[in-house]
Structure 1
Amino acid sequence: MDIVSILITVALVILMIAFYIMGRMSQNKLPQEHDKSIPRINDDFGEVTSSIKEDVAATDGSTPVVIENDFDVLEEEITEIKQAATPRQLVLFIAAKEDSSLSGDKILEVLPKYQMVFGEMDLFHYPIENGGEPSKLFSIANGVAPWTLNPKDMAGSETPGLSIMMQLPSAIDDRDAIEILVSTTQLISKDINGILKNDSQQPFSKQDAEALMASLDD
């Protein structure tokens, strides 16, 4: 792993720690029933993905994998709130396609389309309410130093990729949180001409989504 990859990894770890601390401070209490104000977003928009090597936001040109349109694990009617047994961070990536970059102008155009709002730490956040107070479900950061997505800096720029971070347990049912995270990032990835990756920067698949759901029982 070269020095650039090491620096990206270290910076991401620092961001994850910061968001973990901020997330724990904002979670004064969790709702006792499913939050009806948060729409259930099924994965009806599964998109084609590829893969990248190491932790550099670029692709290796492997054969695309189609994410199936429905998750069997999500089909049951959910009646009780579910929270992760162990606090942790979920991390995904959106990488540029091979021999290309993600347009900063396109990122600024697309993120608000999917309810992402620019805010704390100069990043974009998916806003929700926690006990009536403003909070966030997940955040999107730049994949390169200084890791921020300030519109003034992003305009006219390019980046090799984006990092997505979500703290569990969340302020809502964690099954809903994972559905929203996966569906939203798939759509964002498609619209900015990028490729969605799992935490190992491998093609994000139906099996990855099922594993995230299953991990709530760990």
Structure 2
Amino acid sequence: MFFDIGALPPQDRYKIMTATIVPRPIAWITTLSRDGVLNAAPFSFFNMMGNDPPTVAIGIMPRAGLLKDTAANILETGEFVVNLVAETDASAMNTTCIDAPPEVDELALAELEAAPSRFVAPPRIETARVAFECQALTSLVTGPLQTIVIGRVLCAHVEDRFVLDAERCHIDTPSLELIARMHGGEAYLRTSDLFHLKRPIWAEWRERVLRDEAGAES
């Protein structure tokens, strides 16, 4: 089936793309407004973009024809924290999806505590097993009130019990029990079902081909 994405209504584009671009990690973002109002909201249009400099990207869509509080706060202050979502925080994260007005503190609604950050004003979510303090590098308006934010990661907080070897920066990833977004409005994924593939190396690949060719000729 061929879909001419550009010819479809926005909601149909959303259905096709979110049903196929999966799984998507969740950035549970905390920000502060210029007036000091705390905001927390999850976004699944998110990923790591590089390590030198360490960068992440978040796509923020409008809500009800308005710029979302997260986007407004980042554009105003240039600071945010990306908290990652473990399964134990799934219900609280879902509570912060609520379409509350800007003056409402979503962490309070979800009965969550904030923890101080080191380099930015917005706090971390205390129960988050991993959190990245970020400073906005740039933003790109890609549509009416639709914004992509590129942020530089200033530091990472990883709960001690998930650090296997601090000197070598080895993290016990499976034990983090992070969740991801899937298709539809309510579908999430556990990240516990893994398989491994060794990345091919050209020299080994070429050697094997030459060996097979030599065997075929003999």
Q: TM-score with structure 2 length normalisation?
A: 0.24
Which of these two proteins has the greater Rg computed from alpha carbons? 2
Q: TM-score with structure 1 length normalisation?
A: 0.24
Which of structures 1 and 2 has the larger relative contact order (alpha carbons within 8 angstroms, sep 6+)? 1
Q: Name the structure where helix makes up a greater proportion of residues.
A: 1
